[in-house]
Amino acid sequence: MWRRTSLSQALDCVDPSTGEAFDTIANGDARDVDGAVNAARAALLRQIAAAILENREELAALETRDNGKPLAAVPQENL
């Protein structure tokens, strides 16, 4: 999700071979970096949670095999 930076400044993107500006980008500060990192972290955690839910039966079987507890002994709400 894109949002405006907290600064209203823009930076020129300069072609080093010609010295000419070919585009502009938004200039941000530490708050913008923190916001971007937090958004990326939240998105990653949502993807991990979705993968766990999608593969919960296989993960439960592997975990019960690893700790020796029969799958039938695991409450369904833990799957």
Could you state, in order of their start, the residue ranges of all structural domains in the chain?
10-67
For residue range 28-71, what is the model confidence (pLDDT) as tens digits?
A: 899 999 999 999 999 999 999 999 999 988 988 888 888 887 87
Winning range, highest mean pLDDT, from 17-21, 33-37, 75-79 = 17-21
* Alpha carbons 43 and 41: distance in angstroms, whole number: 5
3-class SS at 4?
coil
State yes or no: pLDDT of 77 exceeds 70: no
Name the pTM for this structure: 0.63
User: At which residue do the structure tokens 């894109």 appear?
Assistant: 2
Region of residue 11 (phi > 0: left; psi between -120 and 50: alpha; otherwise: beta): beta
- pLDDT band for position 79 (cuts 50, 70, 90): low
Q: For position 9, what pLDDT does the model report?
A: 87
The two three-digit tokens of residue 52, written as one number: 């766990």
